[in-house]
Amino acid sequence: MENFQLWAHPWWVNLLVLIPLSAFLQSRRKRFLLARRQLVFLAGFALAFGFVEGAVVVYLRAATGLLPGYMGTLANVQRAEPEFYKQATAINSFPRSLLTVEVCREAATMVMLVSIALIAAAGARERWAAFLWTFAVWDISYYGALWATVRWPASLRDLDVLFLIPVPWLSQVWFPLLVSGLTVLAIALQSQGRTES
């Protein structure tokens, strides 16, 4: 377990806290034209996709020998010492081939999240809101999937590698969960909430 760290690294990752604020301010004059039904379907996709992403991380850690107890049951993995999952330092232990695959997987994830937003909404503002909504729900679901399967993060202060493109982004888990939670709140509050899609 880590001590509380206010800042993410590199420094510009901290600017992500402006995303929910900008989404909220952007929609103050005119709400996003997203129906509740659209938000529910996007959330369904994001929840499932977040679980898939969490499962991929579990498989990668098992494949690289960084997941103790994986040959037994999930209970064996969950009973393992939470200190085993040092994401920020484990990235240096990953084989270069798998690191290359991981970077490509992250790029593919962004393509999928952008694609679903383009399909779900018509205007540029609504597509941006749909992307932010889906990304935020996906991110929360990802951490939920990891905790449900391997009991990580053990604390919101655990250090994580958020993204690898163009360089590793490092922060404690509370940071992406805060940004994603505020983004979900901003989009939910500023969508029209109409029932037809």
Say which residue the tokens 């690294």 belong to: 9
How far apart CA 176 and CA 101 sit, in angstroms, is 23
Relative orientation angle of helices 124-150 and 96-120, to the nearest 10 degrees: 130
Give the residue-averaged pLDDT of 59-76.
76
How far apart CA 149 and CA 56 sit, in angstroms, is 12
Label residue 85 by pLDDT band (50, 70, 90).
low
Question: What local confidence, expressed as pLDDT, does residue 87 receive?
Answer: 61
How far apart CA 69 and CA 62 sit, in angstroms, is 9
Question: What local confidence, expressed as pLDDT, does residue 172 receive?
Answer: 95
Contact criterion met (CB below 8 Å) for 50 and 145? yes
Examine the pLDDT at 82 and tell me if it is beyond 60.
no
Greatest CA span in the chain, whole angstroms? 55
Question: What local confidence, expressed as pLDDT, does residue 2 receive?
Answer: 62
Question: What local confidence, expressed as pLDDT, does residue 81 receive?
Answer: 58
Question: What local confidence, expressed as pLDDT, does residue 184 receive?
Answer: 95
Examine the pLDDT at 104 and tell me if it is beyond 60.
yes
What's the pTM value of the predicted model, to 2 decimals? 0.88
Average pLDDT, the chain: 86
* CA distances (Å), origin 23, targets 134, 152, 184, 193: 13, 30, 10, 16
Give the residue-averaged pLDDT of 128-145.
96
DSSP secondary structure letter of residue 83:
G
Examine the pLDDT at 196 and tell me if it is beyond 70.
no
Question: What local confidence, expressed as pLDDT, does residue 12 receive?
Answer: 94
Residues 138-163 pLDDT 10s = 999 999 999 999 888 989 999 999 99
